[in-house]
Amino acid sequence: MSTKITLGIIGGGQLGSMLCQAAKKLDIKTIILCDDKEAPASNFSDDFIYSKYDDETNLIDFANRSDFITFEFENIPVNTLKKIQKIKPVYPDPEINSIVQNRFKEKNFINQHKVKTTNFKLIKSKNDLNEIDQLIPGILKTTTLGYDGKGQFVINSLNDLKNLKIDCEYILEKKINLKKEISNILTRYQDGKIAIYEPIENIHKDQILDQSKIPADTTDLIIDEAKKTSIVLAEKLKFIGTMCVEYFIDEQDNLLVNEIAPRVHNSGHLTINAYDVSQFEGHIRAVCNLEYKNPRKNFDATMKNIIGAEIDNYRSMNLTDKQFFFDYLKKETKPKRKMGHLTTIN
C-alpha cells in the first residue's frame, strides 16, 4: 500500500495547477474538486472530481480520499468547508474565510489590530448614503464575491451614487492617490514558524494585476513595516499555509492594507523561478505538515500577466534562458481572463 500523502485541493484554476506541480515535486498526491469540467488543474492533478461545491456526497468522497484539504480561492461557501473539516483537517481554517470573504469584516479585523486601511463605510441601502463626503472620490465595492476589480464602481461625485441601485451590501471606500502598490507573501507552518518573502511591487491595469517585480522600488522603512504587519496579521488569524497581504502606499508614504488573500497569490508567481522554495511549495509544506524550509532568493525577477487574446503571441514566442512562460491551458480565451504569465529573472 502507498504511504504517500494525498492533498485535496478545492478549485481547479491556475493556482490549483501550480499547487499540483509543487506537490508532485514533494512526492505528494493531489486530488482536485472543481465545478468546472474543463478545469486547467485537471492536467496536473492525480485525481479529479467534477462537482458543485455544495454536493454533499461528492464532498464526503473527496474528504475521505484526502489526508489534508486546502483551496485555491477564498469564495467557497464556509459551510462547505466546515462540513469537510469534520472529516479531514482543512488549512487554512475556514473560520478565516468568513472574515476575509467579506470586505467589511476584513477591514474591521485589520483595524482592530491597529493596522491602517482606507477609510470606509458599510452601505446597505440608500439611507446609508449620508455623511459620506469624506469618502468621495471613492470606490464602491460589493462586500463579497469581488475579484480582479469585479463588483467595483468608481464614485467621483455624490451624483454618481444617486443613479446607482443599492441591491446588495457594499462598502464605500476612499479612493487613494496611489504612489505604489506592494504585496507581501508569507507561509506560516503548523508550529507557528513563518517563512516570509520580500515584498513585491505590483502594477495594475483596469484593476487587474499586470506586472509584479522584486525588488520593490520603495524605502527600507516601508519594506520592514510591511513585513512586520503581514506577520502580525498572519499570527492574529492563526493562519496555516501561504497567504498574501496587498498594500497601498499613498503619496505621503503611509502604508495601508488593501486586502488579505488567504491563499497563494498572483503576485507570487515569480517565486517559482526567483526562489528555491516557491509560494506553492511553501503552502504544500505547511498544510501537509512537512519540514519547514526558509525560502532563499536566487534572482530578482519580473512577472507579466498574459490577459485574453495576448496569449496567442506568447504561445509562439521564442524564449531566452531567463524567461519562463506558463500557459494555463484554459480551453476558452476571454477578454480580461488570465491566460498565462511570463516570468523573467535577472
List interacting residues with ligand ADP (CB under 6 A): 118, 139, 146-149, 173, 175-176, 178, 181, 204, 207, 246, 258-259
Nearest to ligand ADP of 181, 281 (CB atom): 181
Which triple of cell numbers denotes residue 126? 440608500
In whole angstroms, give the CA distance from residue 238 to residue 332: 38
Give the pairing type, strands 68-71 and 6-10: parallel
Nearest to ligand ADP of 23, 176 (CB atom): 176
In the complex, least distance from residue 291 CB atom to ligand ADP, rounded to whole angstroms? 33
In whole angstroms, give the CA distance from residue 184 to residue 196: 8
Nearest to ligand ADP of 285, 341 (CB atom): 341
Nearest to ligand ADP of 14, 273 (CB atom): 14
In the complex, least distance from residue 147 CB atom to ligand ADP, rounded to whole angstroms? 5
In the complex, least distance from residue 20 CB atom to ligand ADP, rounded to whole angstroms? 24
Nearest to ligand ADP of 29, 304 (CB atom): 304
Neighbouring CB atoms inside 10 A of 134's CB total 9
E-strand stretches of the chain: 6-10, 29-34, 47-50, 68-71, 120-123, 138-142, 152-155, 170-174, 178-188, 194-196, 200-205, 208-214, 241-250, 255-261, 301-307, 323-327, 338-345
In the complex, least distance from residue 175 CB atom to ligand ADP, rounded to whole angstroms? 4
In the complex, least distance from residue 249 CB atom to ligand ADP, rounded to whole angstroms? 11
In the complex, least distance from residue 202 CB atom to ligand ADP, rounded to whole angstroms? 7
Three-state DSSP string of 92-126: CCHHHHHHHCCHHHHHHHHHHCCCCCCCEEEECCH
DSSP secondary structure of 308-342: GGGHHHHHTPPP-TTEEEEE---SS--TT-EEEEE
Nearest to ligand ADP of 246, 281 (CB atom): 246
In the complex, least distance from residue 290 CB atom to ligand ADP, rounded to whole angstroms? 30
Count CA atoms closer than 13 A to 248's CA, side-chain side: 18
Nearest to ligand ADP of 58, 119 (CB atom): 119
